[in-house]
Amino acid sequence: MPTVAVAGYDVQVEARPGEPILAALCRRGYGYRFGCRRGGCGTCKVELVSGRVEYFVTVSADVLPESEHRAGICLSCRAVPVTDIEIRLADDDRLHCVAPLLLRGRENRRTNPQ
């Protein structure tokens, strides 16, 4: 499964097939700024530093204009990693851990490779 890393943080999570970036990070206990989670508001835009993403649902050009798309901005509630990727959050945003329980689970699983 492709992994999602966040620039500036020691974080790497796996994304399930078809799972968008935001959903993958939230599932593992992380949070950052997001809005509608349905591609309508653009609040969760991040920079794609490396790797490739695809959109399996229609995304409005009003929300993610082609110019932004070309500049490497992606709509993280809709963008699905198809390779290992690294993203960078907006300058005024930060990654926080909202569910430490899930993080401990991740560490446990590290010692028990799937």
Partner 1 sequence: MSVMRLGYVHARVTDMTEALAHYHNTLGMQLVAEQPGKAYLKAWDEYDHHSLVLEEGGVGLVKLGYKVEHADDIERYEKRAQQFGVLTERMSKGENLAISDGLRMVLPSEHVLELYYEAEQTGTATGTLNPEAWPRDLIGVGVPRIDHCLVTVEDPDTVERFFGEVLDFRPAERLVTDMSDDGELIGSWMFCTNTPHDIAFIKGGNGKLHHFAYQMGDWSEILRAGDLFSMDDVSVDVGPTRHGITRGQTIYFFDPSGNRNEVFAGGYQTYPDFPTITWTADQLAKGIFYIGRELNERFTSVVT
Q: Does 62 bind partner 1 (CB under 8 A)?
A: yes
Which member of 10, 58, 91, 110 binds partner 1 (CB under 8 A)? 58
How many residues bind partner 1, per CB under 8 A? Answer: 16
Q: Does 60 bind partner 1 (CB under 8 A)?
A: yes
CA-angle at 61, arms to 23 and 69, nearest 5°? 65
Measured from the CB of residue 42, what is the shortest distance to partner 1 in angstroms?
9
Over its C-alpha atoms, the chain yields an Rg (Å, rounded) of 14
Nearer to partner 1, 56 or 83 (CB): 56
Which member of 5, 6, 59, 89 binds partner 1 (CB under 8 A)? 59
- Cβ-Cβ contacts under 8 Å for 75 (sequence gap 6 or more): 39, 42, 44, 45, 55, 59, 63, 64
**SS3 call for 45:** strand
Q: What are the Cα distances from residue 97, in Å, to 25, 72, 75?
A: 10, 25, 21
Convert residues 23-52 into a mask of x (bound to partner 1 by CB under 8 A) and - (unbound): ----------x-xxxxxxx-x---------
**Contacting positions for partner 1 (CB under 8 A):** 33, 35-41, 43, 57-63
